[in-house]
Structure 1
């Protein structure tokens, strides 16, 4: 089997177009049987869990509204009317915010709207439990973005542990470092659609990186497991197999990789926001 050469891609050479304005999709759905964190916090929808005076969904929405790179926000959930009723009036009635009902799968729902009048290119995807999202994080992401068809925000383990040594995350380990996802995904154009379709097929394995890379053949899986390929190289290789340009964006902000999946996350995020907001 012929080894795949790790591609060297200069982000600045990918797409020299003018700086775009983004459609932001906030994924705010939950399992049909209910969400454990919603039950833990005694609310109907996880996205409406309150933290220090605002729901998680409101926090993410306000951060995106304040971002000059974002021109439109879509809140996607199985029951959008329930979320709309739970938002402050200034958000629920905002001209730049709309609600879209999602289907059974997250990736399939995204695939159905991206590149349409509902969600024109380019598209930024994030989640309602990304409660620590700030303008600083968004600025860092958009500044580093170089026009890739698909870009995924991550945080290096050293960055995380330097700020939060006890934080427990899921780490993807590669040559040169280990990384945790930061719930920010850039989808630039039609070329990104195969990646979204692929994600739909591996959605249940999203916490198991080796299963995802196994879909691209034994050689890439072997290099990923043996850590003889960098994360950037692995994503670029996987992208080339789908005829698109893909790259991770490593953010220098530890909080970017902290979302609310379990009670200990909620405690950590609550403490951070209380200190930040007084």
Structure 2
């Protein structure tokens, strides 16, 4: 932790479900991906344990599913209701718990305490918001078997790591922008107009790097956002489909065998 961050952040685990449920979780015989068993431990339990081991004294799980709430409480986490979408949930928990607020997801099956500690240590002291991203080089190095969605920018290909830090109360000003972009994620022209045509033009022309992109978007909300590079490429792996689940199980089995 930095001297400017006197206390460990509260950690929020997003464990909501969209209307109609999660088809992949249902294929696995459960109501939520966090309930899927990996190496004898539900994924959500692994996430909560990693956050507590990283030094997060308060872990909050946002959900409206009784089964998920029961598991979270059994792991020593608090439970708050999930709102209508991730951004609304983050906003509600930020108002309830304050900053700094570390945010991750219930399907981050490989999450390790050292990744969280490194992320907090590497976050610049002037950031209102920090986002953990992994370059393709590190992902291919550490987990070459994975198939990810890549953001292709001037400085390489990037994948999100489902770890965010809302370091200051000012970060709340970015929630409305997040919510608006989230609502229009399938309407490219409308989303482009929100993010700025200049930003879109630089992206199309291949002149936009990851730091510039995040800074430009955050500036519209009047906040400072920084990208933190993941030291371990495995941080980009979450469980969205059967291939991800098989990969996670193989990696953890190999780790336990070693």
TM over 0.5: yes
Q: CA deviation at 1:274?
A: 0.7
Q: CA RMSD in A?
A: 2.2
The alpha-carbon distance between structure 1 residues 126 and 208, as it changes in their structure 2 partners (threshold 3 A), is farther
Q: Which of 98, 106, 112 is the equivalent residue of 1:120?
A: 98
1:229-266 CA distance string (max 9 Å, x none): 21101111222221110111110211100000000000
Q: 2: distance between equivalents of 1:182 and 1:137? A: 10
Structure that is richer in helix per residue: 2
Q: Is the 8 A contact 1:115 1:189 kept in 2?
A: no
Q: Secondary structure at the match of 2:162?
A: strand
Partner of residue 215 from structure 1, selected from 194, 207, 227 = 194
Provide the residue aligned with 1:130 in structure 2.
108
- Structure 1 residue aligned with 2:54: 67
4+ residue runs over 6 A deviation = 207-211
In the other structure, the counterpart of 1:101 is 81
CA distance in 2, matches of 1:209, 1:164: 31
Kindly indicate whether the alpha-carbon contact (under 8 Å) linking 1:77 and 1:102 is maintained by their aligned counterparts in 2. Answer: yes
Query: How does the TM-score come out when normalised to structure 1?
Result: 0.85
- Note the residue ranges of structure 1 that are not aligned, 5 or more in a row: 1-14
Contact 1:26 1:73 in 2 (8 A): yes
**Aligned equivalent of 2:121:** 143
Counterpart contact for 1:210–1:221, Cα < 8 Å: no
Q: 1:208 to 1:137 in 2, by over 3 A?
A: farther
1:215 is paired with a residue whose SS is: helix
1:1-278 correspondence runs (5 A): 17-68=4-55, 70-79=56-65, 81-86=66-71, 89=74, 91=75, 94=76, 97-116=77-96, 119-147=97-125, 148-204=127-183, 214-278=193-257
Q: CA, structure 1 residues 163+155, in 2 after alignment: closer, same or farther (shift >3 Å)?
A: same
Distance (whole Å) between structure 2 residues aligned to residue 87 and residue 169 of structure 1? 28
8 A contact 1:63–1:133 mirrored in 2: yes
Task: Name the SS of the counterpart of 2:195 in structure 1.
Answer: coil
Q: Distance in 2 between matches of 1:88 and 1:78?
A: 13
Aligned CA distance change for structure 1 residues 213 and 137 (closer, same or farther; 3 Å): farther
Distance 2:152 2:177 in 1: 21
> What is the distance in 2 between the residues matched to 1:167 and 1:210?
31
So what's the TM-score if we normalise by structure 2? 0.91
Counterpart CA distance in 2 for 1:61 and 1:205 is 31
The CA distance in 2 between the partners of 1:210 and 1:136, in whole Å, is: 40
Q: Is the 8 A contact 1:171 1:180 kept in 2?
A: yes
Is the contact made by 1:107 and 1:200 (CA closer than 8 Å) also made in structure 2? yes
